[in-house]
Chain A
């Protein structure tokens, strides 16, 4: 396996896009390629994620994207894994480059859903779960993660303020991120007064429906000896799965696919959690960040909420978590989310994160979950 790098990255501002997903994807892709000091013709293959392309009456986005980039002969593949689609695409790019099948690959994730009303968007998201056995029983995505929150609260006695601390922190980070959907801080009082969506989760526990696009360029070190910026060395790239239906899993207070992915990623990287300096984790709901910190091995079960409330995971805390604002505040344009986590780490490594820059950016981890954990990606990045 060849040493493989992320050599370029770009994102647009998440939120509501005026342009189509196709236009946004091509625009960020070109910016990512240029940030790597490359040209589109240097790309050997494009891995595209656009799980809800049907919302724009468009499938098979790859050839359209490559044509817009002036490389129509370059192959593409669409990678769908619900909310972890573009981290799954990154894994595929990594496998191809590290394995010597490609020298450089483009990963692009894009979603445009803001033109849908809440009912339609909620219904679309629900089919990312098991339609006949979860959604048909009344489950929505907030509802599914809320059952984790209810089981977790029952077992560990979690207080609402612990979930609220995740929301307040991530909004504070998002307020410093020009890519973020929400660039406004919230207070604990605002959190506690927000309406219940799916008990015990409130409005401010939930990530928004966002439009957005993010792209990254993956290349073999031996082909890019002098990268333009500081590359991310991919120390680990792991994909895992678990029983798709939450209710059929042995436990309800976390995600087995996250635990397995972390275990394998740390082994692949030859690192342990204490060597990770900051994280981008999948916080589609506040409880998801708390569960992730425990599943990934950073906190013992039942303790991550208290640590968050005590400020350990703030930008200047012991372990900065989601300096980008996470899905919660940066936004969650489903298929762009995984790639955007890597954009954040790329900007942090290159000192481009401005007011949200973390103190130490040498080793970082990205964690991206598909739906309720039927699929999961963990990537670990280091410096040259």
Chain B
């Protein structure tokens, strides 16, 4: 009998429940250094079955975004909002959204964001408050 080559303790449902309930932001890290928040069994970059589950920081900066004015049904009551691709501090990227963004004066490429769950669909981020020292919070 074949032994499983990767631990299969994680599932898409567990990933989703964890971040939508605000418990933690699960991700996967490969031996090659690839970090992803997307469920999988084998690393899509190096092809090795050495993914291990990690908790992602949820802190990073926006590398691409689009402000949505015509949503799908699950986001009907959220427009306008920003769909964002965030590069995490620890490496890797994650997709998510930021509520209440009507234009790019509020949020733009380079903006620092953090994971800010509020029992809504998906991975919700919020913009960091700029600190007087030029750093960011939290």
* Known contacts A136-B16, A137-B122, A246-B85: A126-B64 contact under CB 8 Å: no
B93: Cβ under 8 A from any A Cβ: yes
| A53, B104: Cα distance in complex, Å | 38
Query: Which residues in B have their C-beta under 8 angstroms from that of A151?
Result: 63-64, 85, 109
- Encoded as 1 (CB less than 8 Å from any A CB) or 0, chain B from 70 to 90 comes to 111111101001010100000
Interface residues of B in 100-120 (CB under 8 A from A): 103-104, 109
Query: Which residues in A have their C-beta under 8 angstroms from that of B94?
Result: 247
- Encoded as 1 (CB less than 8 Å from any B CB) or 0, chain A from 113 to 142 comes to 000001110110010001011111111101
Query: Which residues in B have their C-beta under 8 angstroms from that of A135?
Result: 72, 74
Query: Which residues in B have their C-beta under 8 angstroms from that of A183?
Result: none
Residue of B nearest to A148 (CB): B64
**One of B34-42, B48-56, B130-138 contacting the partner:** B34-42
Q: Is B96 within 8 A of A198, CB to CB? A: no
B126: Cβ under 8 A from any A Cβ: no
Q: How far is the CB of A163 from chain B (nearest CB, A)?
A: 13
* Known contacts A136-B122, A198-B66: A247-B72 contact under CB 8 Å: no
Query: Which residues in B have their C-beta under 8 angstroms from that of A136?
Result: 16, 74, 121-122
Q: Is A119 within 8 A of B76, CB to CB? A: yes
Q: Is B63 within 8 A of A248, CB to CB? A: no
Q: Is A134 within 8 A of B95, CB to CB? A: yes
Q: Is B83 within 8 A of A143, CB to CB? A: yes
Q: Is B70 within 8 A of A142, CB to CB? A: yes
Q: Is B97 within 8 A of A198, CB to CB? A: no
Query: Which residues in B have their C-beta under 8 angstroms from that of A322?
Result: none
| A247, B56: Cα distance in complex, Å | 15
Q: How many residues of A contact B (CB 8 A)?
A: 39
Residue of B nearest to A130 (CB): B38
* Known contacts A132-B39, A197-B70, A248-B38: A150-B64 contact under CB 8 Å: yes
* Known contacts A138-B83, A143-B83: A201-B95 contact under CB 8 Å: no
Q: How far is the CB of B13 from chain A (nearest CB, A)?
A: 9
| A149, B67: Cα distance in complex, Å | 12
Q: How far is the CB of B79 from chain A (nearest CB, A)?
A: 10
| A134, B12: Cα distance in complex, Å | 13
Q: Is A252 within 8 A of B66, CB to CB? A: no
Q: How far is the CB of B90 from chain A (nearest CB, A)?
A: 15
B25: Cβ under 8 A from any A Cβ: no
Q: How far is the CB of A125 from chain B (nearest CB, A)?
A: 8
A146: Cβ under 8 A from any B Cβ: yes
Q: Is A199 within 8 A of B109, CB to CB? A: no
- Encoded as 1 (CB less than 8 Å from any B CB) or 0, chain A from 199 to 230 comes to 11100000000000000000000000000000
Q: How far is the CB of B20 from chain A (nearest CB, A)?
A: 9
* Known contacts A119-B76, A137-B83: A198-B69 contact under CB 8 Å: yes
Query: Which residues in B have their C-beta under 8 angstroms from that of A197?
Result: 69-70
| A248, B37: Cα distance in complex, Å | 9
Q: How far is the CB of B91 from chain A (nearest CB, A)?
A: 12
Cβ-closest 5 pairs across A and B: A146-B66, A138-B97, A137-B122, A147-B64, A199-B67
Query: Which A residues contact B (CB, under 8 angstroms)?
Result: 118-120, 122-123, 126, 130, 132-140, 142-144, 146-151, 154, 195-201, 243, 245-248, 252
Other than the given A151-B64, A199-B103, 19 more pairs (CB < 8 A) read A120-B73, A122-B72, A132-B12, A133-B39, A136-B16, A137-B83, A138-B75, A138-B121, A140-B68, A140-B83, A144-B66, A150-B65, A150-B66, A198-B67, A198-B70, A199-B104, A243-B44, A248-B38, A248-B93
